[in-house]
Chain A
């Protein structure tokens, strides 16, 4: 298996695969952060999470088209505005969905799974009707193209680095909001005991709505970031949903740190295996390992000790 490569080559390969794994890691973290809030904190199984990401991606695509046609001079910076718009659009849709659908189902978590699956079907069809069935790709500004040459044999794409930096910033932001801010405390209080939180004067309905909106908004930003790596179609969201849930569950649903750790281990395993075997077998082995470990340790890597 290793015989055909020199030691130096192998080193570069591992670095490159490791870096590819890091980009995959960023993607997983972005996808899973929103879900870690919605599923991990609120206990709602949102099967339409992928569709919220796709909404962010479509918003980004629309923004880039708008800048190309009307403000070509500012095109290099469109991305930052697009991310904000994606956050607002997905977050608003999330709050609407919470109001119409989710708030009736907090006591029936398994039913949220079925209802949000119905929602995801409707959203997919809506995207297909509005944007067409073809996949769309976003044109990247000049400064994001190309790659950095670290050494002769190692090079890393700039958009990958950008996605990674973005992931770090968003993760820090979410961690701050959830664990340091007053509002994050309210969220965790509502999650732990809805009745007690209400009794001490927290408006639980409002907290629920904004929490769900925040989770969906982050999904939108994730989708926005994805446009730099790949193209977007009406059904792309479905491809990610199982991976995303596994990342969150594997890490221990209620733990943000666990989500990051599990995203890291899953992505690194997969990208390293991908070098030695076909992509599909690497995926199968990775998923098998995750399911196997989950059977041994059902609460995930970083389980919080809670009384039930």
Chain B
């Protein structure tokens, strides 16, 4: 990493390949149903992207990313739900104009915290700010007191458990275990038909590419290097005069906001939001996607998410029994044999050969920066 540019050549090629794959290849080859599935998988790619920053680079394993995914998703879903519950749509209810699950739970007026979600601007701000501030609070409380590693992981897990129980328990305000279903329009534009799904897919890919650029920017900036240094030798960074806690809080907040954007995209693309995407099991699954793809590679995490989800869908349709064995085994194998996931395999075995093929005259290719970081080699 001698250069200060935000992309070296191979990374730029990698991002372009991903962009072409998502923007051109997939829409041309898949039907709308499959494309919508990909859109659903990509919502998790946002979470995986955040985890690369926070876990791969910062060394902070959060098992509560489902919380932020859920917060973003619920913000979006509340806006869509309010739009779907206009007075004309809900005139059969005893009190028209409020979401149907409130009516079922004998709540007669819109709760106060729902009211601002009539505004799209507020909703978009909330998607970023609510999870961001929540992460800021948790992060500040934890990292300022130097809670880290396993303790942090367990506490984030507990937060995920708390939020799930809360959402399920407060049925009248949140839709309970069923979540918020029957989302219809976005500012009067129907999100359910096929062409809308395609438009939303492209919108999502656009957002994802922007997030990748942000992640890439962070990675190559001084901030990213401090994160890596902190992961390797936290005390040394602290003694050099850096505020370790603030950097960790920042990484955690970025990961939270990415996850929340993914959640909001989920509500838009899939058309519902439920507590089953908030709890411990989905949170850990999101970590799995990142680990399989490669916790140190931005692009690897995205391919990992797509691959694991694709395998999950196709395997669990045909061999429901094998799927859990497969997922569990895959996970153990990744942890034991390939700690850097698919990207590690790519960077260690495949890419050197390709580079050698392309430029056989050069003495040695520049090498894959991520793997040299992972091996603990000095980042020079």
Residues of A within 8 A of B (CB): 39, 43, 45, 47, 101, 104-105, 108-111, 113-115, 117-122, 124-126, 128-129, 238, 241-242, 245-246, 249, 278, 280-281, 283-284, 287-288, 290-291, 294-296, 298
A-B contacts, CB under 8 A, total: 117
Do residues A111 and B335 form an inter-chain contact, with CB atoms below 8 A? Answer: yes
The answer on a CB contact under 8 Å between B146 and A111 is no
Q: Are B162 and A284 in contact (CB under 8 A)?
A: yes
Pairwise interchain contact A287-B335, C-beta atoms closer than 8 A = no
Known: A39-B150, A249-B155. 10 other contacts (CB 8 A): A109-B150, A115-B336, A119-B328, A121-B331, A122-B324, A242-B154, A284-B162, A284-B165, A291-B155, A291-B159
Interface size in chain B (residues, C-beta < 8 A): 41
Sample of 11 A–B contacts (CB below 8 Å): A101-B332, A104-B336, A105-B336, A110-B150, A111-B335, A118-B327, A118-B330, A238-B280, A287-B165, A291-B159, A294-B151
Interface core residue of B153, B155, B161, B328 (most chain A CB under 10 Å):
B328
Q: Does B257 contact A (CB under 8 A)?
A: no
Chain B proximity of A55: nearest CB distance (Å): 16
Asked whether, in the complex, the Cβ of B61 is within 8 Å of the Cβ of A113, the reply is yes
B86 to chain A, nearest CB (A): 31
Residues in B neighbouring A291, C-beta threshold 8 A: 155, 158-159, 162
Residue of B nearest to A283 (CB): B165
**Does the CB pair A280–B169 fall under 8 Å?**
yes
Q: In the complex, are the beta carbons of A129 and B327 less than 8 A apart?
A: no
For window 311-343 of B, CB contacts with A under 8 Å fall at: 321, 324-325, 327-332, 334-336, 339
CA distance A238 to B147 in the complex (A): 25
Q: Which residue of A lies closest to B332 (CB)?
A: A118
CB-based nearest A residue for B137: A295
Q: Is residue B129 within 8 Å, beta carbon to beta carbon, of the partner chain?
A: no
Please determine whether A115 and B158 come into contact, CB atoms closer than 8 angstroms. no
Compute how far the CA of A298 lies from the CA of B149 in the bound complex, rounded to whole angstroms: 12
CB-contact partner of A101 in B142, B287, B336, under 8 A: B336
Q: How far is the CA of A287 from the CA of B153 in the complex (A)?
A: 15
- Rounded to whole Å, the gap between the CB of B293 and the closest CB of chain A is 13
CA–CA, A119 and B321, complex, Å: 15
Once the chains bind, are B153 and A118 in contact (CB under 8 Å)?
no
Query: Hey, which chain A residues are within 8 Å of B169, CB to CB?
Result: 278, 280-281, 284
Contact between B331 and A125, CB atoms less than 8 A apart = no
| Given known contacts A298-B145, A298-B147, A249 and B154 CB-to-CB distance under 8 angstroms | yes
Q: Cβ of B321 and Cβ of A125 under 8 Å apart?
A: yes
Are A117 and B145 neighbours in the complex by a CB distance under 8 Å? no
Q: Are B281 and A238 within 8 A (Cβ)?
A: yes
Q: Nearest-CB distance from A95 to chain B (Å)?
A: 17
Q: Which of B146, B158, B291, B321 contacts A287 (CB 8 A)?
A: B158
